[in-house]
C-alpha cells in the first residue's frame, strides 16, 4: 500500500486566480476564525463540538499547520481518498467530515483568506440511495425482551426505547428533555429550541402506552429532584454515549447483528411505521423536525414487502372494483 504523504510543501499550490488575499493566516488560524463566526450563529453546543471533532480528523491527516500558499484542492481530495481507501470509512461518515471542511473553506474564500474557491472542487461522495435501515416489529420485541426492567436502569432504557419510537426524537434531543417539558395530561413533550438540531422548538405527541410508562418512570425518579428526565442510577443527567452503548449491548444480547442498533435506527423505524400505519408525510415532517420533505423521504424507505402490503391496502383497482 502506498504511504500517505502528510507533509505538504511549498510549490504544490497549482493555478491561482488573480483574486487578492486580504490577510495571510495559517490553516489553523483560519479555522479558529471560522469557529468564532460559527459561535455567533447560535448553534447547539453539540454542533460546535462536531465542527472541532471533524477538523481534528483533518489535522491528524496533514500532521502540521499549513501556510495559505499550500492549501489546495489536491490537499482536500487526498484527504477524501485517505478516508475512503486507507481508513475505509463509509461514504456517509466521510461526507460528515467533508461537509465541515467545505463550510470552513467556503468561509475562508468569502472572507478573502484564500484566493480560489476550493470548496467548489471537492464535494460529498455519492452514497447508495437505500442505506437507512429499520427494525421489524419482531426485532423490537426481541430487543425489549432482553432488558431486565425489574432494575431501575433497565426500566429507564425500556422507556427510552418507547420514547424514541413514539416521538422520533434525536438522541441529543432525548437526553436534553426536562421533566417540565413532559405534559402527560396533554400527551406531548415540548422540545426546547436550544436543544434541537434546527434550533426551533417543536412539540412531539405521545401515545397512551408511552404516557403510561413515562408516568410510572417519572414517579419512580421524583426523589432525585433532578431537572432532566432521563437519569443515571445515581440521579445525574444521562449522556448520549451511555444510551448508545446500552442499545448496542441490547442488540448483541438479542442477536441482532446485521443491523446497527442505534438511536438513529429507532428514528428511521418509527418514521417508517408511522407511514405504514396510515400516517401522512406532512405531519411526520413536523414530528421529525425537518424543514424539507426530501429529508423525510429518506426516513421512509420501504422494503419490497412493505410496498406490496401498502399496494394491497390502497390499490386504485380495489377502490374501483372492491377487494
Total domains present in the chain? 2
* 207-222 per-position pLDDT tens digit: 999 999 999 999 999 9
The domain containing residue 219 runs over which residues? Answer: 137-312
d(CA 231, CA 130): 35
CATH of the domain at 55: 1.10.150.130
Tell me how far apart the alpha carbons of residues 269 and 285 are, in angstroms, rounded to a whole number.
14
Is the domain of 41 the same as that of 107? yes
Alpha carbon distance 69, 147 (integer Å): 57
Please return the burial class of 302, using the count of CB atoms within 10 Å of its CB with bins 0-12, 13-18 and 19+.
middle
Strand order from edge to edge, sheet including 182-183: 182-183, 188-191, 202-205
Q: What is the mean pLDDT of the chain?
A: 86
Write the CATH number for 235: 1.10.443.10
Helix (H) or strand (E) holding 176: helix 171-176
CA distance 313 to 311: 5
Same domain membership, residue 228 and residue 91? no
Domain limit, last residue, from 65, 95, 120 = 120
Per the DSSP assignment, residues forming a β-bridge with 204 are 189
CA-nearest of 275, 282, 277 to 301 is 275
Count of CB atoms situated within 10 Å of the CB of 243 = 21
Co-location of 66 and 144 in the same domain: no
How far apart (Å, rounded) are the C-alpha atoms in residues 1 and 81? 13
Query: Which range, 88-97, 114-123, 179-188, has the best average confidence (pLDDT)?
Result: 179-188
Pair 180, 291 in one domain:
yes
Contact 249, 238 (CB under 8 A): no
Residues 191 and 242 in one domain: yes
* Within-domain flag for 10: no
Residue 280 to residue 225: CA distance in whole angstroms: 39
pLDDT tens digits, 254-309: 999 888 899 989 998 998 888 888 888 888 888 888 877 777 776 666 556 666 66
- Are the C-beta atoms of 245 and 251 separated by less than 8 Å? no
> Do 300 and 209 fall within a single domain?
yes
Each residue of 17-70: pLDDT tens digit? 445 555 689 999 999 999 999 999 888 788 899 999 999 999 999 999 999 888
> Is position 9 within any domain?
no
Whether residues 90 and 115 fall in one domain: yes
* Residue at which a domain ends, from 75, 93, 120: 120
pLDDT higher for 235 or 13? 235
Alpha carbon 35 to chain centroid distance? 20
One domain, residues 72 and 174 = no
Considering the domain boundaries, does residue 323 fall inside one?
Answer: no
**Residue 114, CB half-sphere, CA atoms under 13 Å: how many?**
26
155/114 same-domain check: no
**Pair (71, 186) in one structural domain:** no
The cell for 323 is: 377487494
Q: Are 142 and 274 part of one and the same domain?
A: yes
**Phi, psi at 90, each rounded to 5°:** -70, 155
pLDDT for res 276: 83
Q: What is the pLDDT of residues 123-150, one digit of tens each?
A: 898 876 555 678 999 999 999 999 999 9
Examine the domain organization and report whether 192 and 306 are in the same domain: yes
Amino acid at each position: 500500500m502506498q504511504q500517505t504523504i502528510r507533509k505538504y510543501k511549498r510549490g504544490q499550490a497549482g493555478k491561482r486566480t488573480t483574486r487578492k488575499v486580504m490577510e495571510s493566516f495559517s490553516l489553523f488560524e483560519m479555522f479558529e476564525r471560522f469557529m468564532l463566526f460559527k459561535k455567533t450563529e447560535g448553534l447547539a453546543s453539540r454542533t460546535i463540538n462536531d465542527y472541532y471533532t471533524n477538523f481534528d480528523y483533518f489535522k491528524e491527516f496533514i500532521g502540521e499547520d499549513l501556510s495559505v500558499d499550500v492549501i489546495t484542492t489536491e490537499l482536500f481530495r487526498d484527504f477524501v481518498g485517505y478516508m475512503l481507501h486507507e481508513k475505509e470509512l463509509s461514504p456517509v461518515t466521510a461526507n460528515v467530515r467533508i461537509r465541515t471542511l467545505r463550510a470552513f473553506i467556503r468561509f475562508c474564500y468569502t472572507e478573502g483568506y484564500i484566493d480560489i474557491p476550493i470548496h467548489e472542487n471537492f464535494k460529498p461522495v455519492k452514497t447508495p440511495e437505500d442505506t437507512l435501515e429499520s427494525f421489524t416489529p419482531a426485532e423490537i420485541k426481541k430487543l425489549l425482551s432482553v432488558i431486565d426492567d425489574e432494575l431501575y436502569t433497565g426500566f429507564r432504557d425500556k422507556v427510552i426505547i418507547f420514547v424514541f419510537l413514539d416521538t422520533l426524537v434525536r438522541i441529543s434531543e432525548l437526553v436534553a428533555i426536562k421533566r417540565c417539558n413532559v405534559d402527560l395530561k396533554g400527551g406531548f413533550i415540548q422540545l426546547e429550541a436550544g436543544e434541537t438540531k434546527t434550533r426551533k422548538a417543536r412539540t412531539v405527541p405521545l401515545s397512551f402506552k408511552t404516557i403510561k410508562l413515562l408516568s410510572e418512570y417519572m414517579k419512580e425518579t421524583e426523589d432525585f429532584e433532578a431537572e432532566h428526565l432521563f437519569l443515571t442510577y445515581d440521579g445525574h443527567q444521562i449522556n448520549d454515549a451511555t444510551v448508545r452503548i446500552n442499545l448496542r449491548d441490547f442488540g448483541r444480547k438479542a442477536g441482532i447483528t446485521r443491523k446497527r442498533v442505534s438511536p438513529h435506527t429507532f428514528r428511521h423505524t418509527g418514521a417508517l411505521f408511522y407511514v405504514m400505519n396510515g400516517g401522512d408525510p406532512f405531519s411526520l415532517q413536523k414530528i421529525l423536525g425537518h424543514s424539507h420533505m426530501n429529508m423525510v423521504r429518506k426516513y421512509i424507505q420501504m422494503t419490497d414487502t412493505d410496498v406490496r402490503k401498502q399496494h394491497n391496502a390502497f390499490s386504485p383497482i380495489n377502490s374501483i372494483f372492491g377487494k
